[in-house]
């Protein structure tokens, strides 16, 4: 799969026709291949447009009228066609036929679903649910072994039950005890859950931005990864990423969280600033104040603590803070970042302080090798492949470790 482009498999992937292993390999290729990802985004846009087409039935008399018109055109008009001339009637008939063909194709494309996505009762899309422990409930009904979570339905676990959800053909989500989730959408261009409370662990092998989880304080957008997400009774959440990347979003606020990092969210405020979990306790404590303390003086003092404790890898946090602080505090963040990991050629102090988007992205791309723990100058696809392999090995060692 990695030795060739996968554009011919895009339609099959979008409609769940690939096996789990094939879907995983497809997604990993898409994440690292710009050419295939661009084509995938084009097709995904086409699917979205097709999904918005109105569902119309052709009038019953149309076919008989077309047959009559075509019968009239047979004979002398055939000579005109072979000589390159088309009568206006035949043009109308041909256009009508083409319109019907296109309309039927769009209808078929929109309504096409794999059997695993439809219930026999009401043809609503659904995901398969497997009981892992206790008696999880879908709506008011308990699950003995397996169940079907349809769009709009809630899955709930109590203190003694767990479940696993098969996310179409792109991954799995484990649902912990005392958790409440709802299936919001599932189709070719978007799969979406709502996590109202509790904890879930997702393992997704999909191209970026196909799987989303809504929480009371942010939306988690999967970028091809594995992660856990917890929501407390107040609606605050904590994201921990173990592989790949996740974007936490609310309105115009976004946090990009890589493997080994976490991010907290609060209702109304939205996502805080991502941080690596191996950063110092003082750094993490100060960051919480910078993100969520309403007092400006307290936030500025906490920023001083953060800058004192920051390591080169903590430029992940500082890079995000550039757009979240202003004035002299932004100058302080820039100067610390420049001391830890100088900006690449073409990125200037003045540009960063005025939040030039291209310069910010250029510096971020340069910093990724530090965040991934590989050397400078390593090509991005190789660095990301190394990071995925390292995190996969780390998870496996933890699974094998004595309890």
Chain segment 225-258, per-residue pLDDT in tens: 899 999 999 999 999 999 889 999 998 899 999 9
Per-residue pLDDT for 160 more than 60? yes
Angle at Cα 16 formed by Cα 13 and Cα 22, nearest 5°?
A: 55
Angle at Cα 204 formed by Cα 241 and Cα 207, nearest 5°?
A: 105
Q: Is 335 helix (H, G, I), strand (E, B) or coil?
A: helix
Phi, psi of 42 (to 5 degrees): -65, -45
* This prediction's pTM: 0.69
Quick one: pLDDT at residue 228?
97
In eight-state DSSP terms, residue 267 is: T
Quick one: pLDDT at residue 24?
58
Average pLDDT, rounded, for the chain = 79
User: Six-digit token pair at 368?
Assistant: 């990724």
In which element (H, E) is residue 165 found?
strand 162-167
Beta bridge partners of 133: 162
Mean pLDDT of 326-337: 96
Query: Are 160 and 134 a contacting pair, CB within 8 Å?
Result: yes
Cα 311 versus chain centre, distance: 30
Instruction: Please name the residue that has the structure tokens 């969210």.
Output: 265
Mean pLDDT of 158-177: 94
Confidence of residue 187 (pLDDT cuts 50, 70, 90): confident
Per-residue pLDDT for 386 more than 60? no
For the chain, the C-alpha Rg in angstroms (whole number) is: 27
Confidence of residue 370 (pLDDT cuts 50, 70, 90): confident
Quick one: pLDDT at residue 112?
46
- Of 61-75, 246-260, 307-321, 378-392, minimum mean pLDDT range: 378-392
In eight-state DSSP terms, residue 185 is: E
Quick one: pLDDT at residue 251?
85
d(Cα 302, Cα 108) in Å, to the nearest integer?
A: 58
């Amino acid at each position: 799969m990695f030795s060739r482009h996968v554009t011919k498999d895009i339609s099959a992937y979008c409609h769940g026709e690939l096996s789990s292993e094939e879907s995983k390999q497809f997604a990993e290729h898409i994440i690292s291949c710009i050419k295939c990802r661009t084509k995938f985004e084009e097709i995904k846009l086409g699917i979205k447009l097709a999904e918005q087409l109105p569902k119309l039935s052709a009038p019953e008399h149309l076919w008989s009228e077309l047959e009559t018109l075509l019968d009239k055109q047979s004979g002398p008009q055939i000579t005109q066609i072979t000589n390159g001339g088309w009568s206006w009637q035949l043009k109308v008939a041909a256009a009508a036929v083409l319109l019907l063909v296109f309309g039927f194709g769009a209808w078929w494309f929109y309504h096409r679903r794999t059997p695993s996505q439809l219930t026999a009762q009401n043809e609503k899309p659904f995901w398969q649910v497997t009981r892992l422990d206790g008696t999880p409930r879908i709506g008011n009904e308990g699950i003995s072994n397996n169940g079907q979570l349809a769009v709009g339905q809630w899955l709930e676990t109590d203190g003694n039950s767990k479940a696993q959800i098969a996310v179409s053909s792109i991954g799995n989500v484990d649902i912990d005890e005392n958790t409440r989730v709802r299936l919001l959408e599932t189709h070719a261009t978007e799969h979406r859950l709502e996590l109202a409370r509790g904890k879930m662990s997702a393992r997704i092998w999909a191209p970026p931005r196909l799987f989303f989880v809504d929480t009371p304080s942010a939306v988690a957008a999967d970028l091809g990864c594995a992660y856990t997400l917890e929501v407390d009774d107040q609606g605050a959440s904590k994201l921990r990423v173990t592989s790949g990347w996740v974007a936490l979003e609310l309105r115009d606020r976004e946090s990009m969280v890589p493997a080994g990092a976490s991010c907290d969210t609060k209702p109304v405020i939205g996502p805080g600033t991502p941080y690596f979990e191996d950063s110092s306790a003082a750094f993490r404590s100060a960051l919480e104040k910078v993100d969520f303390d309403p007092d400006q003086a307290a936030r500025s003092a906490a920023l001083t603590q953060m800058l004192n404790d920051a390591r080169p890898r903590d430029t992940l946090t500082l890079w995000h803070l550039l757009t979240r602080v202003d004035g002299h505090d932004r100058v302080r963040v820039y100067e610390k970042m420049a001391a830890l990991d100088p900006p690449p050629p073409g990125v200037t102090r003045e540009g960063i302080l005025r939040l030039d988007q291209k310069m910010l992205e250029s510096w971020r791309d340069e910093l990724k090798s530090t965040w991934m723990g590989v050397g400078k100058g390593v090509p991005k696809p190789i660095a990301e492949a190394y990071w995925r392999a390292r995190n996969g090995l780390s998870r496996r060692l933890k699974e094998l470790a004595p309890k």
